[in-house]
Structure 1
Amino acid sequence: GEIQVRGPGVFTAYWNRDEATTAAFEDGWFRTGDVAVVERGAYRIMGRLSVDIIKSGGYKLSALEIESALLEHPRISECAVVGLPDETWGEAVAAVCVLADDEPLELHALRDWCRGRLSPYKIPQRLLTVATLPRNALGKTLKPDVKALFAAADASRRP
């Protein structure tokens, strides 16, 4: 679930931002926006609630976990995974990859490679390859811009 914190070292309000404070706190607990699970007595951070958690078929999937698996593929040098709206599953797992070479990577080949490495519901259902991932000035991948790449690709396919 979402990590929430409180204590003497945690701030209690945003300066002159009552609406933001109300949204960020629940019964005195600060909602961090980070999602974690407890595994073998330790917390494992899964990602940010807003962009790194994909809700698909009743599962909460970590985009970071899927990205980590995809980066083991010998032809993928960088990737970003997002959830795209899906009528059946809520969100579909979608990957944008930067390839290490100029040969095309087809979705079916990636899905075949993922079998045995990822649970079936974590295997990407959509794939785009790009020259570079969209990033901010600090080098962080811009997940909303990654989603926009799929929207642009879909729009270019329409007659």
Structure 2
Amino acid sequence: MDNMIKVGMADLNICVTPDAITTLGLGSCVGIVLYDPRKKIAGLVHVMLPDSTKIINNENKAKFADTGIDLLIKKMCDIGANSNSLIAKIAGGAQMFAFGSNSEMMRIGERNVEATKIKLKQLGIRIMAEDTGANYGRTIEFYPETGELHIKSVGKERKIL
């Protein structure tokens, strides 16, 4: 691996092998990795919210599942990825706080995962692996060379999807 490209919260980026890509601290946010296995081009978007249409101030497309995925695909295709070859791996969407209520605000992680799955299905992109839900944060690293998604969580063994 040459470089580890970092993606912040409500941010996205792309990488080509031999580089890898990471995002830290996925709580209720969802990290969505899209990958063209033939070209070994990967993209990662760190989405915070499910739906840009419900928010007035929504010019940051990477913040939302619906617009972030579209923007990521565009950026990947701009450097040669084939949108018909893309597959996905997703992680995050934790329920970080144990509140008694099942209010919409408290279900943000679950809603982020749902919105991600709906959007990917609409685009015909298969989710090959996921590590979502539960009540702990995750840091993920994706390696386009192998197609492996490494998931690290405090006090848990590293997972490879």
Shorter-chain TM-score range: 0.3 to 0.5
| TM-score normalised per structure 1 | 0.33
| Bigger radius of gyration | 1
| TM-score normalised per structure 2 | 0.32
Question: Which one has more relative contact order, counting CA pairs under 8 Å at least 6 apart?
Answer: 2
